[in-house]
Structure 1
Amino acid sequence: MSRDGILVRALRGLLGSPKATIAAIVCLLLFAAAILAPVLAPQNPYDLGQIDMFDARLPPGAEGYSGMTYWLGTDAQGRDMLSAMLYGLRTSLSVGVTAGVLALLVGTALGLIAAYAGGRLDAFVMRVVDLMLGFPTILIALMILVVFGQGTWKVIIALVIVQWAYFARAVRGAALVEAGKDYVEAARCLGLSPARILAMHILPNCLPPLIIIGTIQVATAIAAEATLSFLGIGLPITEPSLGLLIANGYQVLLAGQTWISVYPGLLLLVLVFSINVVGDRLRQVLNPRLAT
């Protein structure tokens, strides 16, 4: 099936399920809100000139000393929670999508090369994949960040290291099936280079599992980054994400100021759940064995 055919099939599959359609719309709205955060946010929550400490920990709907109404309340620094959540959503999505795309590129390249080359290279790559998949994802990322410290790109690299194996295993399995088919043998006989055979002939037939795993791994990366940031070893406080916003309110959660953690937590839950619903529907549509 061509690339366009796969995308059309995936789109029709999403529209064919009311639950998946709603989840896809929610994902689009959240992505749009993240992109337009500087426009939609009532204030820049990380501009000290716009923050008043006298407005700290105001409940939802309260009016601050500046006359501004905080519909979702404020945190301990006096930042508008709605604005902080929009900016945090932007950071979380940036890290999750970037890590997912880079892991897809690395895993796809290694999976294709291993399947096409075979022999010792294939065995070596798959043993590394087995080793990576034998440990919990969050544990490996935790150890990496403990060694190298905080930082946006350090978190992204750590997530790529723990996620590329999922793509490599899926692509390698699909590529092995395609590598033995007649059209690949014909391409070899025509003298096409291995790189062109992999890119133009084998890779397009590996797209269905890549789309499925890519969607789910983006949600996994967002949740993993939030966990790492909540533990204090993920993103620095200068680049806050939803995980850091949840951590900021954890200390006052039992004091009744629940909105500081609960609202970012609900937003993270809706985001991850919606992406997973879309990924689950794509798995049913693009994998005929799961159609029933």
Structure 2
Amino acid sequence: MSAMTLRFRTSEAFWARSLRGILGSPKAAVALVVCLLLLVIAVIGPSLAPQNPYDLAAIDFFDARLPPLSESMTGGTYWLGTDGQGRDMLSAMIYGLRTSMGVGLFSGIVALAVGTALGLAAAYFGGRIDTLVMRLVDLMLGFPTILVALMLLAFLGQGVWKVVLALVIVQWAQFARAVRAAALVERGKEYVEAATSLGLSKTRILFGHMLPNCLPPIIVIGTLQVANAISAEATLSFLGIGLPITEPSLGLLIANGYQTLLSGQYWISVYPGLLLLVLVFSINIVGDRLREVLNPRLAER
């Protein structure tokens, strides 16, 4: 059996065990279904939304602030009401979900790649590289995440890619620290020494041999960091420093209705807030279950 076939079967068994562990908990299984359903809605959102809430030609200002189940001037039904600009709240939430999940997933993936590469390099090479990487990690983790993101966006300005960049900068340190700790354990094992003695390249040793054995902490932290990124983006957009007002976002939708919340027009803020809560809560439940499944001590407990 070749080494590639063995690694493939090991990876397949790892993912199968993780999936069985999630489905073994009713709460985690429901949370996983909710996450997948929201992901599908976000992907095919434009085809599901009754209107494009950011197309001025599709908005009627006479329909502004209509309560849920109201009839529009053209004869349609606003199932979740409208906001102050006359946009259909259901459509706005679908578009906002698409943007929020996109920012969270993309920033989490990029931060995972950067942090994993730096953590593996620090553990394998040691010396000055390890010292430099860990001092940067200590510096990043020494400040609150939202504070660093606020400072970065105050310098960078508003925009989707600027928010992604800010979230990557504040997230990579979590991955680097966890991967370094796991890689230090793997570095002293016999298979790494054997690969080194065979003359394999450092890149192949790091990413072909050590990385697969460091997957459990990476997956758990990655899942939880996606939820944190979605929450951070919503917070930044709510404060008016994240996405511009022309971009759909759950945080912006919550901010749009905040001023009218106490006047009885609750649906403008409450419905996007509930959707954000369900999304983040479901991802966190899946992440916590993965941590229990992939950590033998927690699984025994």
* TM tier relative to shorter chain: over 0.9
Deviates more, 1:270-279 or 1:282-291: 282-291
- In structure 2, the residue corresponding to 1:42 is in which secondary structure? coil
Q: State the partner residue of 1:14.
A: 22
Does 1:206 find its partner at 2:214?
yes
Q: CA deviation at 1:290?
A: 1.1
Contact residue 56 and residue 77 of structure 1 kept, 8 A: yes
- Asked whether the equivalents of residues 37 and 87 of structure 1 are also in contact (C-alpha less than 8 Å), the reply is yes
| Partner of residue 166, structure 1 | 174
Does residue 76 in structure 1 map to residue 94 in structure 2? no
**Which of the numbers 249, 274, 288 marks the counterpart of 1:280?**
288
Matched residue, 2:3: none
Identity of aligned residues (%): 74
- The one of 26, 29, 34 aligned to 1:26: 34
Q: TM-score, normalised by structure 2?
A: 0.96
For residues 286 and 5 of structure 1, the distance between their equivalents in structure 2, rounded to whole angstroms, comes to 12
Structure 2 counterpart of 1:176, one-letter code = L
Aligned residues: 292
CA shift for structure 1 position 47? 1.0
> Is the CA contact (8 Å cut-off) linking 1:6 and 1:208 kept in structure 2?
no
Within 2, Cα distance between the matches of 1:238 and 1:7? 40
Deviation, 1:148, is: 1.1
Aligned with 2:58 (options 33, 47, 50): 50
The answer on 1:154 being equivalent to 2:132 is no
Runs of 4+ in structure 1 off by over 2 angstroms are: none
Which residue in 1 is equivalent to 2:74? 66
1:81-92 to structure 2, matched below 5 A, reads 81-92=89-100
- Cα deviation digits, residues 69-124 of structure 1 (max 9, x gap): 10100000000000000000000000000000000000000000000000111011
Deviations 1:224-258 (A, max 9, x none): 00000000000112212000000000111111101
**Matches of 1:237 and 1:91, distance apart in 2:** 13
Rounded to whole Å, the distance in 2 between the matches of 1:4 and 1:161 is: 32
Query: Cα deviation per residue 1:272-291 (whole Å; 9 max; x = unaligned)?
Result: 00000000000000011211
Q: Write the distance in 2 (CA, Å) between the matches of 1:24 and 1:11.
A: 10
Greater mean deviation of Cα atoms: 99-108 or 231-240: 231-240
Q: Who is 1:186 aligned against?
A: 194
d(CA) in 1 for partners of 2:145, 2:240: 17
Q: Superposed, which structure 2 residues align to 1:118-129 within 5 Å? A: 118-129=126-137
Superposed displacement of residue 67, structure 1 = 1.1
TM-score, normalization by structure 1: 0.99
1:251 aligns with 2:259: yes
SS at match of 2:50: coil
* Distance in 1 separating the partners of 2:252 and 2:142: 29
Paired amino acid for 2:243: L
Shift of 1:131: 1.0
- Deviation at residue 6 of structure 1 after TM alignment: 1.5
Task: Name stretches of at least 5 consecutive residues in structure 2 with no aligned partner.
Answer: 1-6
